[in-house]
Structure 1
């Protein structure tokens, strides 16, 4: 008899660099989340979209704000990839509309490769060699991976440009200060009444 190990049910979950995929799990009449990390697996009593929203808040923005940023940076409005945390390279993309209860969220950073299983199924191989077959077409997954890469690249370039401007501003100021003519300053104390 083969014994199956059920992942632990956790009340609180915070998306982190090790989070690979968040999948809906039907539990009675409710939708829970099955979460795969690089080395662990969990079940959460919250829907995948709720975990994504909480992750955005944890890293300083609302889900709606992240979605609007994706739209402004890339023009993507439907099935938009989300920057949970750009500093730690945490970008997720949905497999369907996020309002669909069967929407799966995948971390682009952990996808090693993906291949067509059949016309409506795609197998994803993660960097840790774990695989999952999803009921989503290859073209749809491929498109989502490319859209997430576009978001990541566009946001990275924007951040680099801002940092470069800051560096020029700071280093330019320093050079201006060094080239100022220094005169003598009076060090006499005067009594004021």
Structure 2
């Protein structure tokens, strides 16, 4: 309980700053800075951004956009731990399903039995990797420079990634979602205990 209270305080104590993005670019909007962030179904995207010599995380979620003063992998790992798992366990679980593939989608947490799945655009350890929530994607279209991903809030994200590559990532994440939903269904059918209501 205290852990969540600390997260709450970090959000309240956030400041408003301007930020440099991607070598020379500037963030044109005023954005909140926070020290920590917990991934949920409200989270749509975790994007690395460079500020001076540091890498921070640009978060797009259902309600707003903010900057976390940590790398995307740190945010992902901390979220897994806070929600009852680890990044390593989530990765191993995906490997058991897909085999020894690269760029595997992972389940960050379960919300009432529904898996919250994020897919990487590059290798998870790449400084260019963006994590996108499967639940947040409404469309993927090819573009001259790669592809455009449309999120639930109608925001369009241009990515320098081949359309075929991100489409494969989307299909893999969808397969993982279906696998976990089938597991959930099987578990509820095989349950030795049935509540008396």
Give the TM-score range, shorter chain. Answer: 0.7 to 0.9
What TM-score, normalized to structure 1?
0.81
Instruction: Give the Cα–Cα distance (whole angstroms) in 2 for the partners of residues 76 and 122 of structure 1.
Output: 26
Write out per-residue CA displacement over residues 24-83 of structure 1, whole angstroms, 9 at most, x where no aligned residue.
101111111100012200101111111111111111111000000111123253101010
Is residue 166 of structure 2 the alignment partner of residue 141 of structure 1? yes
Matched pairs, number: 167
User: 1:10-49 to 2 correspondence within 5 Å?
Assistant: 10-49=34-73
Match of 1:99 among 120, 125, 129: 125
Secondary structure of the 1:128 match is coil
Secondary structure of the 1:8 match is strand
Secondary structure of the 2:31 match is coil
C-alpha displacement of 1:17: 1.4
The gaps in structure 2 that reach 5 residues or longer are 1-26
Q: Is contact 1:74-1:154 (8 Å) kept?
A: no
What TM-score, normalized to structure 2?
0.80
Change (3 A) 1:153 1:76: farther
Q: Which has the higher strand share?
A: 2
Instruction: Give the Cα–Cα distance (whole angstroms) in 2 for the partners of residues 163 and 102 of structure 1.
Output: 40
Structure with max Cα Rg = 1
Give RMSD over aligned pairs: 1.7
Instruction: Give the Cα–Cα distance (whole angstroms) in 1 for the partners of residues 107 and 72 of structure 2.
Output: 15
Q: Is contact 2:115-2:180 (8 Å) kept?
A: no
- Greater than 4 Å deviation, 4+ residue runs: none
Match of 2:105 among 81, 96, 100: 81
C-alpha displacement of 1:8: 0.7
Q: Which residue of 2 aligns with 1:132?
A: 157
The gaps in structure 1 that reach 5 residues or longer are 175-193
